[in-house]
Amino acid sequence: MIHVLVNGEIREFPPGQSIAHLLHSLQIPSDRVAIELNKTIVRKRDWDRTTVGPDSQIEIVEFVGGG
């Protein structure tokens, strides 16, 4: 298992997981979020092929509508 900091909380995941897989395992719908990996925004089209390494930092920002 590797340690990953997700929104300020240390989590454990199997090595070699993609961003898309991490979102799925965290049960976060991917349609209304933005992802920052190690202080770099990752485009949604790259989530399937962007793997998360040990000690990575991920910020997940969820878009909320209002008015």
Q: What counts of helices (H) and strands (E) characterise the chain? A: 1, 5
The tokens of 6 are what? Answer: 């997700």
pTM of the model: 0.88
Query: pLDDT by residue (tens digit) across 23-59?
Result: 999 999 988 899 999 999 999 999 999 999 999 999 9
* Strand 33-37 relative to strand 40-42, pairing: antiparallel
Which residues, at least 6 apart from 22, have a Cβ–Cβ distance to it below 8 Å? Answer: 4, 6, 13, 52, 58
Q: State residue 67's pLDDT score.
A: 62
Residue 64 in this model has a pLDDT that exceeds 90: no
Residue 13 in this model has a pLDDT that exceeds 80: yes
Query: Cα(59)–Cα(13) distance, rounded to whole angstroms?
Result: 16
Q: In the CATH hierarchy, which top-level class contains the domain 2-62?
A: alpha beta
